[in-house]
Amino acid sequence: MTSYIREFLGMEKPKGYYTELASEIEKKDAEYHAFTTLNRKIIDCSDGSVPFTTKANICVKGIETTAGSKMLKGYLPPFDATVVERMLNDGKFSFLGETNMDEFGFGTFGLNTEVPARNAFDKDYVAGGSSSGAAVATAMLKYHVAISESTGGSIATPAALNGVVGFTPTYGAVSRYGLIDYANSLDKIGVMARSADDARMVFDIIKGKDEYDTTCAVEKINDEGKDKIYIIRELMEKTEPAIKKAFEKMVDGVGKSYEIKEVSMPILAEAIAPYYIIAMAEASTNLAKYTGYKYGLQYGEFNRRYNDFFTEARSNFGIEAKRRIILGTFIRSESVKDKYYTKALAVRRMIIKEMAKLLNDGFMLSPTLPIPTPRVSDAMKLTSVQNYAMDIFTIPPNLGGFPHITFPYDYMDGMPMGAQLITGHANDYALLDFVSEWEKGFQYKYKHNLGSL
C-alpha cells in the first residue's frame, strides 16, 4: 500500500483546497463528532503541508485542550506538547484540530463524553474509545494522520472499529511531555493512519528522548523480524465464535509466511484485574488536583467552605471518572493497599516476564476485540465490568509496555475487523514492517459512509 503522506506531498493542490476541506469536515462532523476543535488557521496555508490532529488530551498552545472533561473547559495550554512541537518543526505537517475522546481516557467505546463520536461506517455503531475521534477523523480524511494516546487499548480499539491502522509504540519511546495523564506508568502516545508506512513516517518524527520526560528513555528502535506467530489459547476461548472464525481464516493466510503456534498462557486471561487496579489507583492520584481552585474549572465563589466548594466543583466529573476516582482512592488506602495494589504490581511483573519470553521468539497475534462492533444502544446497556472485559486483548501489551499495532483485515456485516500484533520492547519497526507487507497483498477498500476528503 502506498504512503498517503508521500502521495499528498507530491500532489498539486487546487486553489482553496484547505478552505473546502474545512467546510467538508464541518458538514460531516455535525453527524459524526470526530473533532472538538478545528484549527481554522490552516485554511489559508498554501504550503501543501499534511494535516494532522491530536487527541484532546495532548496540549497544543492556545487551543482549548479539555481531555474530554468539563473540568478542563476553557483551558488553553501556554505551550505545545513535545510531539506537537516535533510535528510542526518537521515542516511537512500543519495542525488541523483536536479530536474527541472519553473523559480523561476512561472508556472502551467512546461513550463517556458529552457528545460521543460515531463510527465512520455507520453512526448507529460505537466508534471505540478512548481515542474515538482520532479513528473517525483518520477514516474520514484520506490525507491526514492522528497523534493519539493509549493506556489500555485506546488506540487499538477505535482503530480496529473504524478500519484504520493504530500503532502504539513501546512505553518510553515517545515523550509524554504535554500529555494530560490518565495513568503515568501506562500512558503511551502513538499514531493512527491509513497505512503502516504513514504511521512509520510520523513515528520517526515524534520518537526519541526528551529532557522534559525522564520516562522517555528508549534510545534505539529495532526491526528484528520473526518467523513465528503465537496465538494465546486462553484469550481465544473468550472470543465470540463469529470473530474467532473470521480471525482463523486470516491466520490461515498469514501461515503461508510464518509458523503459527497456539500456546497456553493463562495469566493473560487474568490481566484485566491488575490493569484496572493499577490504572484506577494512578488515575485517582492524577485527578486529585482538579479541585476548582488552582486546577480545573473555576466553579462558583472562592469565599465558601472548602468542602462545599470542593464537592460542588468535582461534581463536574462524569460518572465513569467518579467511579474510577472512588475505586482508585479505595485501592490506595492504607487498609487495603497491600491486598490489591501491591499484588496487582506483582502480577504485572509476572505478565511482563512471561510475555517477554515469548516475544523474544516470535510475534503474538490476536483479534483486537472479542466481539463484533456493537451498536451504541447495545453498548449503553453493558455494565462497567462488561465494558472492562472488552479490553481482554489490548490490556496485556499495554500493561507490559510492549509495542503493538492494529490493522484491518476483513469486514463483518459491513463493519471492519482489526487484528492486533505484538512484539518485544523496542522492536517497534518489526510491527510496521509486518503490516506494510500485509498491506501489499491485501486490498483493503474503505467502505464507510464518510467518503474520502
Quickly list H helices, 130-184. 132-140, 156-161
Query: What would the pLDDT profile of 362-409 be if each residue is shown by its tens digit?
Result: 999 999 999 999 999 999 999 999 999 999 999 999 999 999 999 999
| Residue 449, pLDDT above cutoff 80 | no
Rounded to whole angstroms, the Cα distance separating 315 from 409 reads 43
Query: What would the pLDDT profile of 206-218 be if each residue is shown by its tens digit?
Result: 999 999 999 999 9
Q: Which residues lie below 8 Å from residue 357, measured CB to CB, with a gap of 6+? A: none
- Closest-CA residue to 68 (of 36, 28, 27): 36
- Closest-CA residue to 174 (of 183, 187, 160, 157): 187
Q: Per-residue pLDDT averaged across 422-450, rounded?
A: 87
Rounded to whole angstroms, the Cα distance separating 346 from 451 reads 48
Q: What is the dihedral of CA 266, 403, 130, 285, to 10 degrees?
A: 80
Query: What would the grid cell of residue 426 be?
Result: 523496542
Q: Which residues are catalytic?
A: 55, 130, 154
The secondary structure element, H or E, covering residue 322 is helix 319-332
Sheet holding 165-168, edge to edge: 35-38, 93-99, 50-55, 145-150, 188-193, 165-168, 404-412, 415-422, 363-367, 228-232, 259-263
Q: DSSP for 262-274? A: EE--GGGGGTHHH
How much is the mean pLDDT over the chain? 94
| Residue 70, pLDDT above cutoff 80 | yes
The DSSP code for 373 is P
What's the pLDDT score for residue 265? 98
| Residue 435, pLDDT above cutoff 60 | yes
Residue 248, beta-bridge partner list: none
Q: Which domain holds residue 450?
A: 1-453
| Residue 45, pLDDT above cutoff 70 | no
* CATH assignment of the domain containing 451: 3.90.1300.10
What's the pLDDT score for residue 301? 75
Q: Per-residue pLDDT averaged across 397-426, rounded?
A: 96
**Position 310 confidence tier, pLDDT thresholds 50, 70, 90:** confident
Query: What would the pLDDT profile of 136-183 be if each residue is shown by its tens digit?
Result: 999 999 999 999 999 999 999 999 999 999 999 999 999 999 999 999
What's the pLDDT score for residue 14? 83
| Residue 83, pLDDT above cutoff 60 | yes
Number of structural domains found in the chain: 1
Q: Per-residue pLDDT averaged across 347-361, rounded?
A: 97
Say what percent of the chain tops pLDDT 70: 96
Query: What would the pLDDT profile of 263-294 be if each residue is shown by its tens digit?
Result: 999 999 999 999 999 999 999 999 999 988 88
pTM score, two decimals?
Answer: 0.96
What's the pLDDT score for residue 299? 65
Between 445 and 389, the higher pLDDT residue: 389
